[in-house]
Amino acid sequence: MDQPHTTTARREATAPAALVLLTAREATAPDSQMAPVERVAVGQDRLAEARAALRWTCYRLGAVLTATPGTNQVTSPLSALYALSMLRAGAGTTTADELDTVLGLTGQHLEAMNALLASVQRFDGDPGDVDEKNPPARPLLHLADAVFVSEDGETGEAFLDVLARQYGAGVYPVDFTDPSTAARIDRWVSTATGGRIAKAPLEVGIDTTLSLLNTVYFAAAWEKPFAGTSTSDVPFTLAGGETVDVPTMHASRTVRYGSGPGWSGIDLPYRDGFFLRLVLPDEGAAPVWDEQEFAVIADVLNSAEPVPVMVALPTWDHEHTQDLIGLLKALGLEETLGADADFDAIRPGTVVCGGAQTANITVAEKGTVAAAVTQFAMRMTSMPMLPDLGISFDRPFGYQIVHAETGLPVVMGTVADPRGDTGP
């Protein structure tokens, strides 16, 4: 059974049966039991300031993660921010300063992230219950956090406690040298995303000491669904000028509409509390904006009065995986993602060895379903000692299946070409 530690049992318990879920919010751990420890309750008086700070940082991350318009990009800046903020909980000295500066984090950022999570808690639910062909009338937004740590017990207790009490993160002690650990992480990701994402974007191995993950799952029906009979093939002009026919939905909708220098857009509502913001660049321009432009677009559309608009919107079903390390270094996280980072609060001598995100989205006549997973992996700066001896079966070899008690070879053969039969 794949279960995380409680705070008190983290060092003492060794049998998997002794491991229980750390937080009452976290319901996405495979084969796990709920535990009585809950996230810290944070007052909503900080919510307005926290929302503004989160929005700005999400715009900044989103601008970096969608800066290649020649591809079908889909990302979750919120998931990336949560994972980075969790990483910040274990940072010290100049590494912590760098994260605060680049991400715009304040001294109360842990409580602020907690409060923001609490503000969307009413939309939480089990992604596994969603019929994705018929998205729910009431939007579902499920966020989940987990940290898989080496079972040697050397991960900082204070760091893990912060993740549990401010982020509701499940803590899973694992043996990273065991090949089955990757499958356990994948199973957690799949459960947290309702099966939309089957695998974590990073590999773990013998040198891994920690794998930190955040997932986001969203599903919602349109306030007014598009009629299936209104969908027809319509020409779509690609960036290079080529025109292709794509299935396109059509409807008249009363929506917020706005425009500005180089863009126009609408907010297409779901049934409760969410909408899809669609921004169209001027003809010949690329759909690339920075955080200031995103903020301006938001201000214009947020203040716009709903008006009747004829909407023609393609259906799409996209998935995108990207390495985050180079993108985040370019954003300014050089020390954080380098060899001199201070993550001693997590484990002395550890550095970030990988960061990636996988996200997908399906937009169709009835609504939208989307999911994302952001993952950071850590290892020791000094690599573990590997055996001196090695053998590679990279030329023809023989094999036997032997009965141990008698020594009799039950099956025997040779491999001349692993691709297939070479016999007569």
Residue pLDDT, tens place only, 283-331: 888 898 888 998 999 999 999 999 999 999 899 989 999 999 999 999 9
- Segment 341-352 mean pLDDT: 96
Residues 301 and 115: their CA atoms lie apart, in Å, by 25
Q: Is the pLDDT of residue 54 over 90?
A: no
pLDDT at 18: 21
Which of these, 201, 200, 193, lies nearest to 218 by C-alpha position? Answer: 193
61-119 per-position pLDDT tens digit: 998 989 887 788 989 998 999 999 999 999 999 999 999 999 888 766 777 777 777 77
Residue in this structure with the two tokens 């997932």, named with its chain if needed: 215
Q: N- to C-terminal Cα distance for the chain?
A: 49
Contacts of 153 (CB under 8 A, 6+ apart): 10, 11, 173
**Total number of residues shown for the chain:** 424
Least confident of 38-42, 124-128, 167-171, 212-216: 38-42
Query: Where do the structural domains in the chain lie, given as residue ranges?
Result: 16-220+319-380, 232-314
| Inter-residue contact 76 to 374 (CB < 8 Å) | yes
- pLDDT for 416 equals 79
Locate tokens 């023989």: which residue? 398
| Residue carrying the six token digits 């900080």 | 46
Interatomic CA distance for residues 32 and 261, integer angstroms: 52
Amino acid found at 93: T
Rounded Cα–Cα distance for residues 261 and 143 (Å) = 35
Q: pLDDT digit string (tens) for 218-268? A: 899 999 999 999 999 988 998 888 888 899 999 999 999 999 999 898 899
Torsion angles phi and psi, residue 367, rounded to 5: 165, -150
Identify the residue with better confidence: 419 or 47: 419
CATH class label, 232-314:
mainly beta
Q: Which fold has domain 16-220+319-380?
A: Antithrombin; Chain I, domain 2 (3.30.497)
Other beta carbons within 10 angstroms of residue 64's beta carbon come to: 18
Is the model more confident about 197 or about 165? 197
**What is d(CA 136, CA 213) in angstroms, rounded to the nearest whole number?**
26
pLDDT, tens only, 13-45: 222 222 222 332 333 444 432 233 455 555 555
Place of tokens 């773990």: 204
Q: What is the pLDDT of residue 408?
A: 63
User: When comparing pLDDT for 33 and 5, which is higher?
Assistant: 5
Alpha-helical (H) ranges within 274-347 are 291-302, 325-331
Residue 149 pLDDT more than 90? yes
pLDDT in the model for residue 391: 67
* C-alpha to C-alpha distance for 304 and 309, rounded to whole angstroms: 13
Tell me how far the alpha carbon of residue 209 is from its chain's centroid. 19
Is 385 a residue whose pLDDT tops 80? no
Do residues 372 and 358 touch, judged by C-beta distance below 8 A? yes
Closest to 255 (Cα-Cα) out of 240, 268, 239, 270: 268
